Structure 1
């Protein structure tokens, strides 16, 4: 496992990040009464294409972004993990037990135990450490703070106890296991994979044990656009049932045809069986299945457009994906809470500024959290101002694509 320097990870922001690590070291020393020995980082991610396709073995287009969670760490001589995350109570996890606990559902200690358990099942080691973490990844906002934390923990176990021998894909898989089985959230693998691998990538999950990952080289800055993520001030924290209904409904359509997931079918089969599917699964499930097929195909077209330098076609496809999520996937606001529709307002405001330029769409799981926009640089100030007028100062983040995934950090 290679260590990366601040300059390699953060590029032009390296000096500011060095100050951030210095403050984290001070906090660690106050909490644990010792100097930390090792340093780690794992990024948030931005889903660019393939909204809710990963959990049905589909394709996604995603990137690691410049918001991350960092950790100061010292190994222990026992099986106790103590992690104090800024703004949260300290977690203490005894790794002598690696079974899911009902008492840990939905809390961060379950992720620590879950990553350790998953890596142990794979034949790797896990052991104790003291750690302090601080994050710039918005919790519950669709940039995937939970995946970043899981990948961070996986990299700590990898470096401290496995000589860096665990590859990024296996760390992502262990992280997903932690979230699904221990935390209790039925997420796909995209979030963890984008955070763990880094860069700008397409991932094809047709073979879940061996996902196909392809790097894409494209400079958004040179295209004259900025990638913006807008925090609409909603949280995914209380919306697990809404989120879980999407893969469940999609898979109910697959099960109608005795298949495990939609990727084993094609859209024509759905279209030929409308009446029976509507009666058995319901209209929303059918619409969500149709969204899956269309967005799954769009990922291929988006990647081809970028590889061909055709940014206008790419933007058109981003807008098509956003429209499909709004109308057919229906994850822009929670049906259980129709009074709160921050994402809908954010998308309206984005369209009002962008007109027929740029693109905007739901970002990540949906229902609350963030929207994504590709904004022409000459409209950037107006776009930020309009979103901050709606959601408050600091709600709009202008991000860069991070070239490095989860990693140990070399501060020398």
Structure 2
């Protein structure tokens, strides 16, 4: 929705959007002033960067937390994930230049010519690639693209495992959908567009879970057996009512140079599936995998085989986690979270990058968190692994001490206490 910038600022300052902000950020109405100020600031940033505009729209896309199914999505498996109450926000306004100009705070200005949306090899692994790919995908769906200026601010930590890249992709998708699609595409389609841009233009063979969790919102379980038409179901749960806090621990390790480590996981799993007559592991019954184990070891190597063992087991764990949550059986749920974490470390091997000795930040973070929880709650590697973050479910009575103990090791502000956000990508 486009409004004059002066109107937006009056509404934000006057409390017009208090109820919406309280819902998006899982806080009381009295705590929304800081969130309103963030939106006022991106309006200021838009005009400071690009000059005066007569009107603008405001948008948000949340980070996500993966709760179950570590690396199962790219094998067409099951996942359990949720959107969280940290996000990327943007102000967007027409510019009349037939260019998409995007300024993210702290980054270089990106300018895309909307008349030239072909993929470029030299743009792989850049923001330009994502922007060009998403514009092309919307154009193919009938978007009447025209010039747009976008100013973005984020409190989703980069490399944090809450998926700043997916939040960015969803945010751009929400903006393009709102501005240029006569018939709006669904949140699922926005997620699929983000994944396509990341796979085809950016050059990273990611699954679809991150974008889906950010775009759809709340806690969802997704079955990717048919990736073109994923089965998405809501899972109603309130962790605070169960006496649990969701914490994301920033290990301090950056995954910027680890694309090859991430790519090896789906590539090795697909290689195992191919030996067994499938394209992905979801195509191959577990019994067929076991029967072909000698051939898989010989052709793909033992690490690939171990990773396949993890995928099969974690895929089943997701269904059991969903059942436990729906039954209110948090003891079983936490046991399964811990089992998933152990499987990721031992079989999937996405805790320590191959050959790393001095730097094993994720491993140390897991070890310290387990020590301080002393058998309570649950701890697991979060998201892609190798760097980034660790997830912990912490009993509320231990939360203050746990946060202080972990930040004494990791640094101030490294323990993020998050809430599940009820809405995904949003137009304010």
Which TM-score band applies after superposition, normalised by the shorter structure? over 0.9
Report the 3-state secondary structure (helix = DSSP H, G, I; strand = E; otherwise coil) of the residue aligned with 1:172: helix
* Bigger relative contact order, structure 1 or 2 (CA pairs below 8 A, ≥6 apart): 1
Closer, same or farther in 2 for the Cα pair 1:188/1:206, shift >3 Å?
A: same
**Residue 213 of structure 1 corresponds to which residue in structure 2?**
232
Report the 3-state secondary structure (helix = DSSP H, G, I; strand = E; otherwise coil) of the residue aligned with 2:236: coil
Note if contact 2:275-2:295 (Cα within 8 Å) is conserved in structure 1. no
Say whether residues 1:10 and 2:25 are aligned partners. yes
Report the 3-state secondary structure (helix = DSSP H, G, I; strand = E; otherwise coil) of the residue aligned with 2:125: coil
Note if contact 2:276-2:289 (Cα within 8 Å) is conserved in structure 1. no
Report the 3-state secondary structure (helix = DSSP H, G, I; strand = E; otherwise coil) of the residue aligned with 2:63: strand
Pairwise CA distance, 1:67? 1.1
After the TM superposition, which residues 304-383 of structure 1 pair with which residues of structure 2 at under 5 Å, given as runs? 304-383=323-402
1:25 to 43, 51, 57: 43
Distance, in Å, in 1 between the alignment partners of 2:168 and 2:158 is 10
**Residue 162 of structure 1 corresponds to which residue in structure 2?**
181
Pairwise CA distance, 1:109? 1.4
Report the 3-state secondary structure (helix = DSSP H, G, I; strand = E; otherwise coil) of the residue aligned with 2:88: strand
**Residue 96 of structure 2 corresponds to which residue in structure 1?**
77
2:52 to 25, 34, 41: 34
Pairwise CA distance, 1:258? 2.2
Q: TM-score, normalised by structure 1?
A: 0.96
**Unaligned residue ranges in structure 2 (runs of 5+):** 2-16
Note if contact 2:83-2:424 (Cα within 8 Å) is conserved in structure 1. yes
Pairwise CA distance, 1:163? 4.1
Pairwise CA distance, 1:274? 2.1
Note if contact 1:55-1:187 (Cα within 8 Å) is conserved in structure 2. yes
Indicate the larger mover: 360-369 or 158-167: 158-167
Say whether residues 1:116 and 2:135 are aligned partners. yes
**Residue 227 of structure 1 corresponds to which residue in structure 2?**
246
Report the 3-state secondary structure (helix = DSSP H, G, I; strand = E; otherwise coil) of the residue aligned with 2:157: coil
Deviations 1:341-360 (A, max 9, x none): 10100000011011111000
Deviations 1:275-332 (A, max 9, x none): 2211111000000001000000000000000000000100000000000000000000
Report the 3-state secondary structure (helix = DSSP H, G, I; strand = E; otherwise coil) of the residue aligned with 1:69: strand
**Unaligned residue ranges in structure 1 (runs of 5+):** none
Distance, in Å, in 1 between the alignment partners of 2:160 and 2:273 is 30
Deviations 1:47-102 (A, max 9, x none): 00000000010000000011100001102324201111000011111121111112
Q: TM-score, normalised by structure 2?
A: 0.93
Distance, in Å, in 2 between the alignment partners of 1:252 and 1:143 is 28
Note if contact 1:125-1:157 (Cα within 8 Å) is conserved in structure 2. no
Say whether residues 1:242 and 2:261 are aligned partners. yes
**Residue 91 of structure 1 corresponds to which residue in structure 2?**
110
2:120 to 75, 78, 101: 101
Say whether residues 1:142 and 2:161 are aligned partners. yes
Note if contact 1:75-1:160 (Cα within 8 Å) is conserved in structure 2. no
Distance, in Å, in 2 between the alignment partners of 1:163 and 1:382 is 52
Distance, in Å, in 2 between the alignment partners of 1:174 and 1:136 is 23
Closer, same or farther in 2 for the Cα pair 1:85/1:40, shift >3 Å?
A: same
Pairwise CA distance, 1:21? 1.1
Closer, same or farther in 2 for the Cα pair 1:310/1:73, shift >3 Å?
A: same
Distance, in Å, in 2 between the alignment partners of 1:387 and 1:181 is 39
Pairwise CA distance, 1:272? 2.2
Closer, same or farther in 2 for the Cα pair 1:361/1:164, shift >3 Å?
A: farther
**Off by >6 Å, runs of 4+ in structure 1:** none
